[in-house]
């Protein structure tokens, strides 16, 4: 073959390869567009050398981000958290459509870096930074990303809503303070958010949408499906982001792993369960201290959610897990409803529990002394006894007095129904222990002090002018119980004659309104 023919063949082969390369590149471009991988964003907030290198190298962004990632990990090991956070910001801008980068950096801030600090204020700053990284930036570059929605929901449900972090109560308090202007003292102020009238309402609606990325219309639909929820607490927001992730998954079938869908469903019903346990934020009218109380309105919704999850689940092991979780939820719901004196509702769900799980005991690992079939009253008393250890005289005494303390304080703040039922429950716990110890001598089981003595000790403690509840609460409790007014303290004799215009008074002390603490007790 002569040299001329070789050149012609090489030119034809080069042209064919060039044509094939062009066709292949077109296919690759279409696939990149379909997968959302094509993005040519300018790197922001970076040194000029880094910005120039990024533009010049183009496709070598991944190499740069890997180097920065290694450097960020080294800085974090040296406790140089702020420098590491800055590098994390650059990494996410280098790879804005790589979801795992956002997930790792958000998790790293909220979980790994936050626990390096002892001060709850510092911890909260890093938890909030992790949330904002995913919510404000991650979703901007990865709109409708199910994994980012899942991670946001998990932060609210687990990091803020659960009690595994020592500073979790501080997180709840800070989040409640931030959400109070939008959702009001009841936690469900959707009318003003959807139809704002005053300038303040219009500002609140804009800030909620633009800063916190919460669509009030979608939030209201979530509240109607799963609520009513208290949107000042993290559980409501965990459900919001979880539901948003499931809706996005429905719009993109086949692109989401089944495990991720299972996680989103779990976050929703676990958040509902947490809401039932402590899903209402209440303010003590006397101390102005916030506290968390059960949200019993979600019981029917939560039960239906378990049923729905069970119907949608196809894996046998997961279905068994859902049934076990539902059974535990029903046991708690019955007791909480009973404690709140919602006897008819408690009876309804107590029957449902027995009908749903006829082959399971209503109390797990119940002792042989408990009958297999309990009445509602017996069940409530047994729950208390098992929690405190029914053979411990000290613990039973403390439990009875604790129930009496809560009962009388509920009476002082106007919760008459809870007062009646808690006091009745205290009496039944006392009677049960007394009956079980009546056949034993003192060496086996020590009898409880007389019930009237325990009751008197609690009242004395509550009504003590120096160590008891606030003056206004004491006055309300005395009125409710028909007791005489609190004796006024005698004024101390002045060492010198009072100046003209001074007045000595024996009036009751003024009740001050303290600002809400930074942590919910």
- Per residue in 472-488, pLDDT tens? 988 999 999 998 988 87
83: containing domain? 41-139
DSSP H helical ranges for 447-490: 451-462, 471-481
Instruction: Report the alpha-carbon distance of residue 153 to residue 175 in Å, rounded.
Output: 14
For residue 31, give every residue at least 6 positions away whose Cβ sits within 8 Å of its Cβ, in sequence order, or none: none
Residues 185 and 211 reside in one and the same domain: yes
Q: Is the pLDDT of residue 121 over 50?
A: yes
Is the residue at 510 inside a domain?
no
Residues 92 and 215 reside in one and the same domain: no
Instruction: Quote the pLDDT of residue 334.
Output: 92
- Pairing of the two strands 280-283 and 290-293: antiparallel
Is the residue at 50 inside a domain?
yes
Least confident of 79-83, 149-153, 308-312, 357-361: 79-83
- Residue 203 in contact with residue 151, Cβ under 8 Å? no
Compute the chain's Rg from CA coordinates. Answer: 31
Residues 226 and 202 reside in one and the same domain: yes
Is the residue at 113 inside a domain?
yes
Residues 128 and 148 reside in one and the same domain: no
What's the pLDDT tens digit per position in 420-477?
A: 888 888 888 888 888 777 655 544 556 788 888 888 988 898 898 888 888 898 899 9
How many other β-carbons are positioned within 10 Å of the β-carbon of residue 232? 26
Query: Tokens for 292?
Result: 């968390």
Mean pLDDT of the chain: 81
Please report which confidence band the pLDDT of residue 257 belongs to, taking 50, 70 and 90 as the band edges: confident
> Which CATH number covers residue 115?
1.25.40
Residues 124 and 206 reside in one and the same domain: no
Instruction: Report the alpha-carbon distance of residue 40 to residue 37 in Å, rounded.
Output: 10
Instruction: Quote the pLDDT of residue 154.
Output: 95
Instruction: State what percent of residues in the chain have pLDDT above 70.
Output: 81
3-state SS assignment for residue 350: helix
Residues 161 and 307 reside in one and the same domain: yes
Nearest to 118 by CA among 74, 48, 165: 165
User: Averaged over 334-354, what is the pLDDT?
Assistant: 90
Instruction: Give the count of alpha carbons within 13 A of 205, CB side only.
Output: 16
Q: Is the pLDDT of residue 50 over 90?
A: no
Residues 102 and 21 reside in one and the same domain: no
Instruction: State what percent of residues in the chain have pLDDT above 90.
Output: 28
Q: Which of the pair, 63 or 125, is modelled with greater confidence?
A: 125
Instruction: Quote the pLDDT of residue 360.
Output: 77
- Residue 149 in contact with residue 193, Cβ under 8 Å? no
Is the residue at 216 inside a domain?
yes
Instruction: Report the alpha-carbon distance of residue 377 to residue 341 in Å, rounded.
Output: 12
Q: Which residue, of 92, 108, 139, is where some domain finishes?
A: 139
**Residue-by-residue DSSP string for 289-350:** -EEEE--GGGHHHHHHHHHHHHHH---HHHHHHHHHHHHHHHHHHHHHHHHTT-HHHHHHHH
Measure the CA angle with vertex 52, ends 47 and 56; round to 5°.
155
Nearest to 97 by CA among 43, 47, 46, 35: 35
Task: Give the distance from CA 123 to its chain's centroid.
Answer: 16
Residues 51 and 27 reside in one and the same domain: no
What's the pLDDT tens digit per position in 495-515?
A: 444 444 443 333 333 333 333
Is the residue at 432 inside a domain?
yes
Instruction: Quote the pLDDT of residue 188.
Output: 87
Nearest to 275 by CA among 232, 304, 319: 232
3-state SS assignment for residue 411: helix
Is the residue at 75 inside a domain?
yes
Residues 117 and 46 reside in one and the same domain: yes
Is the residue at 73 inside a domain?
yes
Residues 268 and 163 reside in one and the same domain: yes
Burial 38-59 (b: 16+ CB within 10 A, else e): eeeeebeebeeebbeebeeeee
Query: Tokens for 285?
Result: 């009218």
Q: Which of the pair, 192 or 395, is modelled with greater confidence?
A: 192
User: Averaged over 323-338, what is the pLDDT?
Assistant: 90
Instruction: Quote the pLDDT of residue 240.
Output: 96
Residues 88 and 29 reside in one and the same domain: no
Instruction: Quote the pLDDT of residue 365.
Output: 56
Q: Which of the pair, 99 or 313, is modelled with greater confidence?
A: 99
Residues 63 and 183 reside in one and the same domain: no
């Amino acid at each position: 073959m002569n040299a001329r023919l070789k050149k012609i063949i090489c030119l034809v082969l080069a042209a064919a390869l060039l044509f094939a390369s062009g066709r292949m590149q077109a296919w690759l471009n279409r696939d990149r567009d379909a997968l959302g991988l094509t993005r040519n964003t300018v790197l922001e907030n970076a040194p000029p050398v880094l910005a120039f290198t990024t533009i010049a190298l183009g496709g070598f962004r991944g190499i740069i981000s890997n180097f920065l990632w290694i450097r960020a990990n080294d800085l974090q090991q040296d406790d140089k958290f702020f420098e590491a956070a800055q590098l994390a910001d650059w990494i996410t801008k280098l790879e804005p459509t790589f979801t795992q980068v956002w997930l790792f950096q958000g998790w790293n801030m909220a979980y790994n870096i936050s626990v390096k600090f002892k001060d709850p204020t510092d911890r909260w700053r890093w938890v909030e930074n992790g949330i904002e990284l995913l919510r404000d930036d991650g979703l901007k570059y990865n709109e409708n990303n199910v994994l980012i929605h899942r991670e946001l929901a998990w932060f609210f449900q687990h990091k803020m809503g659960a009690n595994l972090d020592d500073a979790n109560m501080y997180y709840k308090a800070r989040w409640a303070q931030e959400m109070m202007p939008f959702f009001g003292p009841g936690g469900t102020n959707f009318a003003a958010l959807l139809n704002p009238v005053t300038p303040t309402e219009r500002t609140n609606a804009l800030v909620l949408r633009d800063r916190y990325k919460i669509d009030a219309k979608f939030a209201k639909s979530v509240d109607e499906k799963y609520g009513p929820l208290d949107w000042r607490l993290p559980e409501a927001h965990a459900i919001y982001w979880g539901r948003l992730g499931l809706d996005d998954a429905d719009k993109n079938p086949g692109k989401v792993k089944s495990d991720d869908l299972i996680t989103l469903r779990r976050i929703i019903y676990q958040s509902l369960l947490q809401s039932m346990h402590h899903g209402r934020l209440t303010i003590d009218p006397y101390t102005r201290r916030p506290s968390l109380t059960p949200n019993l309105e979600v019981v029917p919704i939560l039960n239906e959610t378990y049923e729905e999850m069970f119907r949608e689940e196809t894996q046998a092991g997961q279905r068994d897990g859902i049934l076990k979780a539902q059974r535990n939820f029903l046991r708690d719901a019955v007791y909480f409803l009973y404690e709140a004196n919602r006897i008819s509702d408690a009876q309804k769900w107590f029957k449902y529990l027995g009908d749903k799980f006829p082959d399971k005991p209503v109390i797990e690992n119940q002792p042989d002394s408990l009958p297999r079939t309990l009445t509602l009253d017996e069940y409530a008393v047994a729950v208390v006894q098992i929690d405190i250890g029914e053979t411990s005289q000290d613990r039973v005494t403390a439990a009875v007095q604790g129930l009496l303390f809560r009962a009388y304080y509920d009476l002082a703040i106007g919760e008459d129904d809870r007062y009646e039922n808690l006091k009745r429950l205290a009496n039944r716990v006392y009677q049960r222990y007394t009956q079980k110890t009546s056949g034993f001598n003192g060496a086996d089981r020590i009898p409880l002090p007389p019930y009237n003595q325990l009751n008197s000790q609690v009242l004395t403690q509550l009504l003590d002018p120096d160590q008891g509840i606030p003056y206004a609460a004491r006055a309300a409790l005395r009125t409710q119980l028909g007791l005489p007014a609190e004796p006024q303290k005698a004024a101390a004799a002045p060492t010198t004659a009072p100046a003209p215009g001074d007045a000595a008074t024996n009036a009751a002390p003024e009740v001050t309104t303290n600002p809400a603490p930074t942590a919910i007790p």
